[in-house]
Amino acid sequence: MGFKLFLLDYPLKGLIPQQSYQVELAMEVDGHGDRIQMQAFLPRSDARQLIIEEQQATGLFTQNLQSEGMNRIASWEGDGVQGHQEVRYTVLVQSKPVRYELPEGQSIPAHYPPSLQPYLMVEEGIQVDSPLIAERVEQLLPATQERTLAESLTTIHRHLQDAFENRNFSGYTDALTALKLGEASCNGKGRLFVALARKLNIPARLVGGFIMEGGSKRTSHQWVEAYVNGHWVPFDTINDHYAEIPANYLTLYYGDEVLFKHSSNVNFQYRFTTTKRLIPRYEAQQTLGDSIFNLINFYTLFERVGISQDLLKVLLMIPLGAFVTVVFRNVIGIETFGTFLPALIAAAARETGLVWGLIGFILIITITALVRKGLDWLQLLHSPKMAVILAVVVVVMMMMTVTGVQLGLFELAQMTLFPIAILAITAERFAIITEEQGVKKALHLMATTAVVIAACYAVMSSLFMQSLFLAFPELLLVVMALNMWLGRWVGMRLMEYYRFRHLLQSGVSNA
């Protein structure tokens, strides 16, 4: 750790969690036995936004992913689709705000390289060659005056922001329509901004995306970027962002595009749902991993083989969760089902959440134990009986997943991530304890196991601990040392102090 901190100059800010956004896109259609096609733009990583994790639930549809220019396009197809169907796409985004200072007094360039010529041309909804566009440019910035780059962009932005009303139009609005109406939504204002800028020989383009705010909504957003001294500078005349863009703007595509395309007569609906999350800083881990002197950080090695940071967090947190279980068993004196079960269930509950994880765990153990009790009359050998119990666990988990999807409880639908073999062994032990020591003892053990699972979950989901172990995985050696120390524990447990408190108090009074 000292080597990293003092020789590699590891940034300690990497231990402070960073706010990120979990965005879910749900697309719904109603099929009538025909072929259904859907298409949407998906985000990609760039200098401002980092796409960390992507997950998809495509249901009956097959997905195809392709790149066209700067855009990433996903399409979903399904044959003979019947009834209400849904496709879900979830992504975790780390983004940062961007702000530019425009150079004062710089003239508008007369020539640009060929790569920028498309951003000066006329398009279907961006009528750069219209006399009305030329007339408005002359009103705002007379040709008799010197037109500087900063002044031109400032004038256009302020004109659209102050003189045009914001309207929540759901349809298509081209530049001329917005100009005539004096009001528009984001796409109308965006096209008019681009038309005015291009008329002044300033390359400009539309950007489509989504504003990441807590909750669900059915609206996307568009803004504009103008080319200034080698940079694409953002402008948003709906929310008055001049030469800046906030961190919660997610870029999905570039150009005058339509976010969604789909087959007709399918009652297509979409919904964005955003949840703010704190996660360990990716950049700090990556900075350390890029060092050629970093011989004790394995993050970049895992990344090369496609193991995500999220999975690496789980691997590093399981030994810590096991240590928490050891503390509860050896120091506090709380008995659990198995030594490592609480840590493994807590790790699996990262997708379900603690509440649904505990509910699912209790239901699986209870149902499987009841089935196991019903198998007793068959007098099976132990190994075949355990194989049957294992299959029962899988069936119960699949039923819970189906139920979760049907009820919209997608946290419950993640039960398939739970350790199947461990659950089967636990159900067997629960049934045996019920027979040998009674239902009360088995339920008590179930309750204490749930308490330890909750404690493991609290420690393992701690953002500080995750950041600390990602930065310094050698701390696992400390966990091993603590386990060795507890392995030589010969004192009384805390629960024993409580159980024998009267005897201990009487011993003190006699002395």
Q: Could you please report the per-residue DSSP string of 263-326?
A: -SSS--EEEEEEEEEEE--HHHHHHHHT-TT--S--HHHHHHTT--HHHHHHHHHHHHHHHHHH
Report which of residues 224 and 487 the model is more confident about: 224
What's the rounded mean pLDDT across residues 117-139? Answer: 95
What's the rounded mean pLDDT across residues 319-335? Answer: 89
- Per-residue pLDDT band for 293 (boundaries 50, 70, 90) equals very low
Q: Where are the domains of the chain?
A: 20-96+260-279, 98-246, 308-499
Mean pLDDT is lowest, of 37-46, 171-180, 192-201, 350-359, for 350-359
Mean pLDDT is lowest, of 9-23, 107-121, 388-402, for 9-23
pLDDT, tens digit (0-9, with 9 covering 90-100), for 67-79: 998 999 999 999 9
Residue 37, pLDDT above cutoff 80: yes
100, two tokens: 């530019």
pTM of this prediction exceeds 0.75? no
Q: Among candidates 345, 317, 329, which has minimal Cα distance to 487?
A: 329
Asked if residue 191 lies in contact with residue 174, where contact means CB atoms within 8 angstroms, the answer is: yes
* Topology alike, domains 20-96+260-279 and 98-246: no
Q: How far is CA 509 from CA 498, 500, 502, 503, 506, in A?
A: 17, 14, 11, 10, 5
pLDDT of 288: 54
- Round to whole Å and give the CA distance between 51 and 41: 14
Q: Among candidates 12, 475, 8, which has minimal Cα distance to 288?
A: 8
Asked if residue 300 lies in contact with residue 289, where contact means CB atoms within 8 angstroms, the answer is: yes
Beta-bridged to residue 91, according to DSSP, are 23, 54
- Round to whole Å and give the CA distance between 248 and 125: 27
Residue 8, pLDDT above cutoff 70: no
CATH number of 20-96+260-279: 2.60.40.2250
Residue 295, pLDDT above cutoff 50: no
Q: At what angle do helices 475-487 and 309-326 cross, to 10 degrees?
A: 20
Exposed, middle or buried by CB within 10 Å (0-12, 13-18, 19+), for 127?
buried
Mention every residue, 6+ apart, whose C-beta is less than 8 A from residue 312.
Answer: 299, 302, 470
Q: Which of 151-155, 272-276, 386-390 has the highest mean pLDDT?
A: 151-155
Report which of residues 231 and 431 the model is more confident about: 231
Mean pLDDT is lowest, of 30-34, 78-82, 377-381, 503-507, for 503-507
pLDDT of 296: 43
Q: How far is CA 106 from CA 158, 200, 408, 481, in A?
A: 19, 14, 56, 64
Q: What backbone torsions phi and psi does residue 28 show, to the nearest 5 degrees?
A: -120, 140
Tell me the CATH architecture of domain 98-246.
Answer: Roll (3.10)
Cα(first)–Cα(last) distance of the chain, in Å? Answer: 50
Average pLDDT, the chain: 85
Mean pLDDT is lowest, of 93-97, 283-287, 457-461, for 283-287
Cα dihedral sign, 98-103-108-111: negative
pLDDT, tens digit (0-9, with 9 covering 90-100), for 403-447: 876 666 666 667 666 777 778 888 888 888 888 888 888 898 899
